[in-house]
Structure 1
Amino acid sequence: MRSAIYQALFVAGLGFLLFEAIVAVRANMQARGIPTDFGFLDNVAGFDINQSLISYSATSTYGRAFLVGFLNTCLVSAIGLVLATITGFAVGVARLSKNWAVARFSMVYVESLRNVPLLLQLLFWYNAVLKALPAPRESYALPFGAYLNNRGLFAPELVFGPGAPWVVAALLASVATAIVAQRLARARRLRAGAGLRLGVAAAILILVMPVAAFVLAGRPISLALPELKGFNFVGGVRLLPEFVALVLGLSLYTAAFIAEVVRAGMQAVPRGQSEAAAALGLSRALALRLVVAPQAMRVIVPLLTSQYLNLIKNSSLAVFIGYPDLVQVFAGTVLNQTGAAVQVIFITMAVYLAISLLASLAMNLYNRRFALVER
Structure 2
Amino acid sequence: MQKIDTGDAKTPLFNDPAKRSLIYQVGAVLMVAALAYYLISNTLNNLDRQSIATGFGFLDKESAFEIGESVIPYSAADTYARALIVGVLNTLKVSFIGIVLTVVLGTLIGVARLSTNWLVSRLAATYIEVLQDIPVLLQLFFWYAIFYEALPAPRQALNPISGLFLCNRGMIFAIPAAHPAWMWMGWAFLLACGLAWLLRRWAMQRLFETGKPFPTFWSALGLLVGLPLVVWLFFGAPVAMDTPHLRGFNFQGGMSISPEFAALLLGLVLYTSAFVAEIVRAGIQSVNKGQTEAAKALGLKSGRVLSLVVLPQALRVIIPPLTSQLLNLTKNSSLAVAIGFPDFVSVANTTINQTGQAIEGVALIMAVYLSLSLLTSAFMNWYNKKMALVER
Q: Which TM-score applies when normalising by structure 1?
A: 0.91
After TM superposition, list the pairs within 5 Å mapping 1:108-119 onto structure 2. Answer: 108-119=126-137
1:60 to 78, 88, 97: 78
Question: 1:160, 1:221 within 8 Å by CA — same for their partners in 2?
Answer: no
CA drift of 1:363 comes to 0.5
After TM superposition, list the pairs within 5 Å mapping 1:6-155 onto structure 2. Answer: 6-143=24-161, 145-155=163-173
* 2:301 is equivalent to residue 256 of structure 1: no
* 2:383 is equivalent to residue 356 of structure 1: no
Sort the Cα spacing of 1:203 and 1:262 in 2 relative to 1 into closer, same or farther, 3 A. closer
- Letter of the structure 1 residue corresponding to residue 360 of structure 2: Q
Q: Which residue of 2 aligns with 1:302?
A: 320
- Letter of the structure 2 residue corresponding to residue 195 of structure 1: F
Sort the Cα spacing of 1:5 and 1:178 in 2 relative to 1 into closer, same or farther, 3 A. closer
2:300 to 267, 277, 282: 282
Q: Could you tell me how far apart the structure 1 residues matched to 2:223 and 2:282 are?
A: 40
CA drift of 1:214 comes to 2.1
Q: Could you tell me how far apart the structure 2 residues matched to 1:299 and 1:193 are?
A: 30
Q: Could you tell me how far apart the structure 2 residues matched to 1:143 and 1:354 are?
A: 42
Sort the Cα spacing of 1:162 and 1:117 in 2 relative to 1 into closer, same or farther, 3 A. closer
Q: Could you tell me how far apart the structure 2 residues matched to 1:181 and 1:5 are?
A: 58
* 2:353 is equivalent to residue 336 of structure 1: yes
SS at match of 1:148: strand
Q: Which stretch shows the higher mean deviation, 111-120 or 269-278? A: 269-278
The unaligned stretches of length 5 or more in structure 2 are: 1-18
Q: Could you tell me how far apart the structure 2 residues matched to 1:4 and 1:203 are?
A: 60
Question: 1:65, 1:329 within 8 Å by CA — same for their partners in 2?
Answer: yes
Q: Could you tell me how far apart the structure 1 residues matched to 2:192 and 2:94 are?
A: 30
Q: Which residue of 1 aligns with 2:258?
A: 240
Question: 1:164, 1:220 within 8 Å by CA — same for their partners in 2?
Answer: no
Sort the Cα spacing of 1:143 and 1:84 in 2 relative to 1 into closer, same or farther, 3 A. farther
Q: Could you tell me how far apart the structure 1 residues matched to 2:280 and 2:218 are?
A: 32
| Alpha-carbon displacement from aligned partner over 1:329-351 (angstroms, at most 9, x marks no partner) | 11x11111111111110110011
Sort the Cα spacing of 1:313 and 1:280 in 2 relative to 1 into closer, same or farther, 3 A. same
- Letter of the structure 1 residue corresponding to residue 173 of structure 2: A
| Alpha-carbon displacement from aligned partner over 1:25-73 (angstroms, at most 9, x marks no partner) | 0111122222211101111111111111111111111111111111111
Q: Could you tell me how far apart the structure 1 residues matched to 2:219 and 2:29 are?
A: 66
- Percent same amino acid among aligned pairs? 47
Q: Could you tell me how far apart the structure 2 residues matched to 1:102 and 1:305 are?
A: 27
Question: 1:130, 1:245 within 8 Å by CA — same for their partners in 2?
Answer: no
| Alpha-carbon displacement from aligned partner over 1:85-141 (angstroms, at most 9, x marks no partner) | 111111111111111111111111111111111111111111244421112233233
How many residues align? The count is: 373
Q: Which residue of 2 aligns with 1:317?
A: 335
Sort the Cα spacing of 1:99 and 1:334 in 2 relative to 1 into closer, same or farther, 3 A. same
Sort the Cα spacing of 1:150 and 1:355 in 2 relative to 1 into closer, same or farther, 3 A. same
Sort the Cα spacing of 1:103 and 1:165 in 2 relative to 1 into closer, same or farther, 3 A. closer
SS at match of 1:373: coil
After TM superposition, list the pairs within 5 Å mapping 1:114-263 onto structure 2. Answer: 114-143=132-161, 145-177=163-195, 179-181=197-199, 183-189=201-207, 195-196=214-215, 204=222, 206-219=224-237, 222-263=240-281
CA drift of 1:155 comes to 2.2
Q: Could you tell me how far apart the structure 2 residues matched to 1:290 and 1:3 are?
A: 50
Computing the radius of gyration from Cα coordinates, the structure with the larger value is 2
SS at match of 1:140: coil
CA drift of 1:262 comes to 0.7
Q: Could you tell me how far apart the structure 2 residues matched to 1:274 and 1:199 are?
A: 22
| Alpha-carbon displacement from aligned partner over 1:237-282 (angstroms, at most 9, x marks no partner) | 1111111000000000001100110111111111211222222222
CA drift of 1:7 comes to 2.5
Q: Which TM-score applies when normalising by structure 2?
A: 0.87
Q: Which stretch shows the higher mean deviation, 20-29 or 121-130? A: 121-130
Question: 2:177, 2:242 within 8 Å by CA — same for their partners in 1?
Answer: yes
- Letter of the structure 1 residue corresponding to residue 214 of structure 2: G
| Alpha-carbon displacement from aligned partner over 1:343-364 (angstroms, at most 9, x marks no partner) | 1101100110010000000011
Question: 1:139, 1:149 within 8 Å by CA — same for their partners in 2?
Answer: yes
